[in-house]
């Protein structure tokens, strides 16, 4: 058994926190990019594209994230890709985030008055211009609160990457716990760190919610 | 080298998958009952007359909502024994799921209670009902009907999140998948099949909740 002081434990955990943060940021950015693509499918004029978007969202919202991550981890090697836990975690969380973000933004698009779309069309804008210049900026603005709320959920979800063997906060905590046998302290500290990451965002989402209660 | 999918192992494993799915449903059923009970009490406490209790419930909600479920589970299962509370994996799983679910539904139930017009309670008391009876027979059913869709979503989210209790070896669906893939060496196929089972379960639970709600709470539920 290795002697760990409280500060050793805390320092190691804080060191691992940057992987949690990095994974959250990567998944959020990836999820936003793929999410916009799914949003386009979901609000497309083509029926098959709308079907595809709806199916995609139903699939990712109707199955456990853990299974999605496992499929990513065991499935990508089948396509001949050698895969690290980091890649599997980023890909898995990206797809998961994209489904939720697409759904949030679609609700935003649908909340806009019909006149916005009609006005854009009557100004002679193409569908793509209409989306880019008129619809999406407004939809993004009114959905800021739920998006920040989802970011909290995403940060919490990165803990599942520990099961794939990615060395983020929780995986590091497991390792420290195996060395120190102080689970109460170690997992308590992990909870505190996650809380400190998430709580400000929760408060920010709440503030935005107050601000954007339909103008 | 091309990988060939092989599902032949599936026929011998149907029993294990079925018992895993049954365990997942049992977990979520217990969680729903306990979680809903706690959230009704919590919502009442949040509107009660004791400021310290209101604050305590508020802190509980924030702490649970801002930490990962997996960390809560590990804290309860691995952490509590070091202060003398040793729990069976099944009990730890249900406790963690219940505490997690209640933190999300306390505010949902509260919003439902606030949405029932005050006149309903007043009318009930005017008819001679005691406050507690008026709450249980008049206010609560109406509040539940209002929040039913949100409650259904929360139950399904919780059911999907319950996959991680496999990490403390509760023999539910995800754990059966782990055991199967270790035995068959067919990880991709196993997780694919189990993911589809989860998809079917969540659709079935949603459908079941809607039917149950229509029967128990009346036409207001869709």
Assigned token pair, B162: 């319950």
Give tens-digit pLDDT for A27-71. 999 999 999 999 999 999 999 999 999 999 999 999 999 999 999
What pLDDT is stored for residue B218 in this prediction?
73
State which residues form the domain around B39. Answer: 13-216
Interface of B with A in 121-150 (CB under 8 A): none
Res A1 pLDDT > 80: no
Q: What is the pLDDT of residue B161?
A: 96
B139, part of any domain: yes
Q: Which of residues 65-94 of A touch B (CB under 8 A)?
A: 65-68, 70-71, 74-75, 78
Cα gap A13→A116, rounded to integer Å: 49
Q: Is residue B7 part of a domain?
A: no
Residue A214 has pLDDT above 60, yes or no: no
Residue B72 in any domain: the answer is yes
Within-domain flag for A137: yes
Question: B62, A199 in Cβ contact below 8 A?
Answer: yes
Residue A134 domain-assigned (yes or no): yes
B158 lies in some domain? yes
B108 lies in some domain: yes
Give me the half-sphere count of Cα atoms (radius 13 Å) on the Cβ side of residue A11: 5
Residue A146 within any structural domain of the chain: yes
B126: in domain: yes
- B153 and B105 Cβ atoms separated by less than 8 Å: no
**Domain span holding position A50:** 6-214
Res A16 pLDDT > 70: yes
Q: What is the DSSP letter of A164?
A: G
Task: Flag whether A1 is in a domain.
Answer: no
Give the lowest-confidence range in A55-59, A71-75, A161-165.
Answer: A71-75
pLDDT at residue B184, rounded to an integer: 86
Number of domains in chain A: 1
- pTM for the model stands at 0.91
Sort out which chain A residues have CB atoms less than 8 A from B195's CB and list them: 63-64, 67-68, 71
In Å, how far is A130's CA from the nearest CA of chain B? Answer: 33
pLDDT of residue B9: 80
The pLDDT score that the predictor gives to residue B10 is: 80
Partners of A69 on chain B (C-beta within 8 Å) are none
Domain annotation covers residue B5 = no
Answer for the pair B178, B185: CB distance below 8 angstroms, yes or no. Answer: no
Residue A136 lies inside a defined structural domain of this protein:
yes
Please state the rounded mean pLDDT for residues A186-193. Answer: 96
Determine the pLDDT at residue B221: 59
- State whether residue B203 sits within 8 Å of chain A by CB: yes
B79 contact A CB<8A: yes
Q: Where are the alpha helices (DSSP H) in chain A?
A: 6-42, 47-61, 65-75, 85-111, 114-122, 127-129, 136-142, 144-157, 169-180, 183-211
CATH of the domain at B111: 1.10.3720.10
pLDDT-flagged residues of chain B (< 70): 1-3, 219-222
Q: Which of A160, A181, A187 sits opposite B164 (nearest CB)?
A: A160
Provide, rounded to the nearest whole percent, the portion of chain A with pLDDT above 70.
97
Domain assignment of residue B3, yes or no: no
pLDDT averaged over every residue in chain A: 92
Smallest Cα distance from B79 to chain A, Å? 4
CA–CA dist A120, A129 (Å, integer): 9
Residue A212 has pLDDT above 60, yes or no: yes
> Structural domain tally of chain B?
1
Q: Are A102 and A39 in contact (CB under 8 A)?
A: yes
What pLDDT, on a 0 to 100 scale, did the predictor assign at position B82? 87
CATH number at residue A13: 1.10.3720.10
For residues A99-122, give the mean pLDDT.
94
Taking each helix axis from N to C end, the angle separating A6-42 and A183-211, rounded to the nearest 10 degrees, works out to 40
- The secondary element (H helix, E strand) that includes residue B207 is helix B187-217
Instruction: Report, as an integer, the average pLDDT of A165-192.
Output: 93
pLDDT at B220: 56
DSSP symbol at A143 = T
The interface predicted TM-score (ipTM) is: 0.91
């Amino acid at each position: 058994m290795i002697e760990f002081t409280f500060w050793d434990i805390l320092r190691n955990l804080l060191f691992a926190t940057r992987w949690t943060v990095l994974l959250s940021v990567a998944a959020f950015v990836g999820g936003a990019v793929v999410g916009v693509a799914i949003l386009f499918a979901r609000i497309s004029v083509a029926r098959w594209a709308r079907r595809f978007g709806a199916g995609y969202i139903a699939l990712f919202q109707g199955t456990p994230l853990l299974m999605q991550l496992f499929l990513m981890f065991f499935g990508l090697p089948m396509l001949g890709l050698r895969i690290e836990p980091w890649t599997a975690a980023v890909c898995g969380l990206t797809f998961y985030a994209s489904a939720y973000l697409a759904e949030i933004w679609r609700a935003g698009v649908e909340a806009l008055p019909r006149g916005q779309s009609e006005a854009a069309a009557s100004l002679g804008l193409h569908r793509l211009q209409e989306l880019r210049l008129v619809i999406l900026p407004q939809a993004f603005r009114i959905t800021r609160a739920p998006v920040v709320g989802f970011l909290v959920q995403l940060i919490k979800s990165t803990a599942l990457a520990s099961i794939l063997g990615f060395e983020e906060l929780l995986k590091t905590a497991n390792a420290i716990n195996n060395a120190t046998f102080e689970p109460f302290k170690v997992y308590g500290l992990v909870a505190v760190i996650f809380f400190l990451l998430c709580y400000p965002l929760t408060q920010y989402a709440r503030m935005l919610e107050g601000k954007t209660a339909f103008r | 080298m091309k990988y060939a999918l092989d599902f032949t192992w599936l026929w011998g494993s149907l029993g294990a998958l079925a018992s895993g799915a049954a365990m997942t449903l049992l977990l979520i059923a217990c969680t729903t009952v306990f979680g809903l009970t706690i959230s009704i009490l919590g919502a009442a406490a949040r509107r009660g007359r004791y400021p310290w209790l209101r604050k305590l419930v508020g802190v509980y909600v924030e702490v649970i909502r801002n930490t990962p479920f997996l960390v809560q589970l590990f804290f309860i299962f691995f952490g509590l024994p070091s202060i003398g509370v040793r729990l069976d994996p099944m009990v730890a799983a249900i406790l963690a799921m219940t505490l997690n679910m209640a933190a999300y539904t306390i505010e949902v139930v509260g919003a439902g209670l606030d949405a029932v017009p005050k006149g309903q309670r007043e009318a009930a008391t005017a008819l001679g009902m005691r406050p507690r009876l008026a709450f249980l027979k008049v206010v609560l059913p109406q509040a539940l009907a209002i929040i039913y869709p949100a409650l259904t979503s929360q139950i399904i989210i919780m059911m999907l999140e319950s996959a991680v209790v496999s990490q403390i070896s509760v023999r539910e669906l995800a754990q059966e998948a782990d055991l199967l893939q270790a035995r068959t060496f067919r990880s991709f196929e196993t997780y694919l099949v189990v993911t589809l089972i989860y998809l079917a379960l969540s659709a079935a639970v949603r459908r079941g909740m809607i039917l149950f709600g229509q029967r128990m709470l009346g036409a207001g539920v869709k």
